Amino acid sequence: MIPAAFDYEVAESVEHALGLLAADPDAKVLAGGHSLVPALKLRIARPSKLVDIGRLSDLAYVRDAGSQVAIGALTRHVDVQGDPLLQEHCPIVSMTAGKVGDPQVRHRGTIGGSVAHGDPASDLPSVMRALDAEFVIVGAGGERTVGAGDFFTGVFQTAVGHGELLTEIRVPKLGDTTGWSYLKYHRRAQDWATVGVAAIVHRDNGTATSASVSLTNMGGTPLRASAVEAAIAAGSSPAEAAVHAADDTEPSTDTAASAEFRRHLARVLTERALTQARA
Amino acid sequence: MHPVTMTVNEVRHELELEPRDLLVHVLREQLSLTGTNVGCDTSSCGACTVLLDGQSVKSCTLLGVQADGATITTIEGLATGGELHPVQQAFHDHHALQCGYCTPGMVMAAVSLIGNREAGDRDSIRAGLEGNLCRCTGYHNIVEAIAEVAGSTS
């Protein structure tokens, strides 16, 4: 499969990239290309121009930012997976990065590209939603920070607008009393998640006192399972709370699963994730 | 057209590429390195795996222009002085191929896996090959071949 023709420019800096994007409303940003190139080949995406930010090495980093860990948008999955700071302070992110695609994909794909693509079946967006991560977006008007609840706006849609660039993702440091789990069901090793569940649990002596739960592929964006979270806060067990996992969700029916099976998976995986995170 | 310089199997090439030219097509059609196969063409099967700056990548999912300045190794670049690379020799010794279509990608993925010290045991090897499909389902001997080269403990 051959992409439709497009122009191509290498961005030399963030400012250069913003200028190139502003000059062409049909231009798209190319990072690792592991979401965009397949879409180009299928001609689902037919941009007039690609602005390649893949050489902006100053956007590839993981840094201590006080109560948060800051991850540069161009950090590749393999580097997120192996980063000692994330492994210590927010291991759900490094562990999940290691479950994206396969080794070849993780050698090229970037965390910024993954979240900015906004695929509802993608793992990292759901983890970011459970963590209440923050997203730093720059544009001609300067820099703004958007919370995960406002970042994912629809299927393949995010708060990153035309002429803007996602530059950084900030995740909270999880303390000793916070447990975590990300579980996904898929039929084959490298498949997208049929359903996934990210759980962050604050615990006290083996009891969950509060939880943040996000569902992958149960709607057009990662969805917080607020009924589950309310049940945990009210003292329910993981099994009792997980009954509500599919409340207010809109899973689709496709070749991987029916909507009914997805609702079942959401309940099963939520119970397991809460139990694992509580331990 | 964009000027692109890449070193492939230790030979430097100065190319003029259309931005939409995929790396696998550059390798096969412009450089006549047809050892790298196109399988699924959707970054699932791994038949097109090559090393880019030492790391395994799927060349059907990279634009040639993204490889500007890169060092690339294909299956043709592994043997030196008429001697098979240890992974190639182990695939031969263990009969780790049937139809052979996936083999160049399997070998390149294995070289990357061993180089990254991610082949310590057979479970790690199986997990590390999740991006490479063998439709003859000859996985057992492939894993055995890689385990021999990596000196896997279990």
Which CATH number do you get for residue A135?
Answer: 3.30.465.10
Residue A63, φ and ψ in degrees, nearest 5: -130, 150
Q: What is the mean pLDDT of chain A?
A: 96
Tell me the C-alpha distance between A111 and A168, whole Å: 9
CATH at A245: 3.30.390.50
Does A12 reach chain B within 8 Å, measured CB to CB?
no
What is the model's pLDDT at position A121?
94
Query: A182 and A157, same structural domain?
Result: no
The single-letter code of the amino acid at A20 is L
> Above 90 in pLDDT, residue A205?
no
Which residues in chain B come in under a pLDDT of 70? none
What is the model's pLDDT at position A68?
98
Instruction: Give CATH 1.10.150.120 domain extents, chain B.
Output: 86-150
Tell me the C-alpha distance between B55 and B10, whole Å: 16
Partner residue facing A38 (CB), from B42, B46, B56: B42
A149-164 mean pLDDT: 96
Is A1 part of a structural domain of the chain? no
Partner residue facing A189 (CB), from B56, B118, B130: B130
DSSP state of A209: E
Question: Of the candidates B132, B18, B112, which has an alpha carbon nearest to the alpha carbon of residue B64?
Answer: B18
The DSSP H or E segment spanning B2 is: strand B2-8
Q: What is the CATH number of domain B86-150?
A: 1.10.150.120
DSSP state of A192: P
Query: A249 and A223, same structural domain?
Result: yes
Share of chain A above pLDDT 90, in %: 94
Of A172, A190, A209, which residue is a domain's last? A172
Which residues of chain B does A82 touch, with a Cβ-Cβ cutoff of 8 Å? Answer: none
**How many Cα atoms are found within 13 Å in the side-chain-facing hemisphere of A172?**
17
Strands, DSSP E only, in chain A? 7-10, 27-30, 49-52, 62-65, 68-72, 134-139, 142-147, 152-154, 157-158, 165-172, 178-185, 195-204, 207-216, 223-224
Query: A254 and A194, same structural domain?
Result: yes
Determine the number of helices (DSSP H) and then strands (DSSP E) in chain B.
5, 5
What is the model's pLDDT at position A123?
96
What is the model's pLDDT at position A172?
98
Is A70 part of a structural domain of the chain? yes
Query: A267 and A186, same structural domain?
Result: yes
Note down the domain range covering A157: 57-172
Looking at the 3D structure of chain A, how many domains does it have?
A: 3
Is A2 part of a structural domain of the chain? no
3-state SS, residue B3: strand
Tell me the C-alpha distance between B17 and B3, whole Å: 6
- Burial environment of residue A176 by CB neighbours within 10 A (0 to 12, 13 to 18, 19 or more): exposed
Question: Of the candidates B91, B101, B50, B97, which has an alpha carbon nearest to the alpha carbon of residue B71?
Answer: B50
The band of A189, judged by pLDDT with boundaries at 50, 70 and 90, is confident
Question: Of the candidates B108, B111, B133, B141, which has an alpha carbon nearest to the alpha carbon of residue B45?
Answer: B133
What is the model's pLDDT at position B105?
98
**A198 to chain B nearest CA, in Å?**
22
pLDDT tens track for A107-128: 999 999 999 999 999 999 999 9
The residues that bridge with B87 in the sheet, in sequence order, are: none
The band of A191, judged by pLDDT with boundaries at 50, 70 and 90, is confident
Query: A148 and A183, same structural domain?
Result: no
Cβ atoms of A95 and A146 within 8 Å: the answer is no
Nearest-by-CA chain B residue for A50: B19
Tokens of A173: 């440091």
Tell me the C-alpha distance between B35 and B99, whole Å: 14
Query: A205 and A153, same structural domain?
Result: no
CATH at A39: 3.30.43.10
Partner residue facing A34 (CB), from B43, B55, B65: B43
Cβ atoms of A197 and A214 within 8 Å: the answer is yes
Of A137, A172, A207, which residue is a domain's last? A172
Nearest-by-CA chain A residue for B55: A107
Tell me the C-alpha distance between A182 and A273, whole Å: 7
Tokens of B77: 């670049």
Which residues of chain B does A1 touch, with a Cβ-Cβ cutoff of 8 Å? Answer: 41
Which CATH architecture group holds B2-77? Roll (3.10)
Query: A43 and A146, same structural domain?
Result: no
Query: A165 and A62, same structural domain?
Result: yes
Cβ atoms of A47 and A27 within 8 Å: the answer is yes
Residue A183, φ and ψ in degrees, nearest 5: -125, 140
Nearest-by-CA chain B residue for A52: B66
CB contact (8 A) between residue B57 and residue A38: no
Which residues of chain A does B61 touch, with a Cβ-Cβ cutoff of 8 Å? Answer: 33-34, 37-38, 105, 108
Tokens of A140: 């001609």
Partner residue facing A34 (CB), from B61, B113, B132: B61
Query: A94 and A183, same structural domain?
Result: no
Query: A137 and A62, same structural domain?
Result: yes
What is the model's pLDDT at position A40?
97
The band of A206, judged by pLDDT with boundaries at 50, 70 and 90, is confident
Query: A143 and A86, same structural domain?
Result: yes
Instruction: Give CATH 3.10.20.30 domain extents, chain B.
Output: 2-77
Does A38 reach chain B within 8 Å, measured CB to CB?
yes
In Å, what is the CA distance from B52 to each residue of A54, A133, B66? 14, 32, 10
Does B62 reach chain A within 8 Å, measured CB to CB?
yes
Query: A246 and A187, same structural domain?
Result: yes
Partner residue facing A33 (CB), from B46, B61, B132: B61
Instruction: Give the burial string for A7-37 (b: 16+ CB within 10 Å, else e).
Output: ebbbbeebeebbebbeebeebbbbbbbbbbb
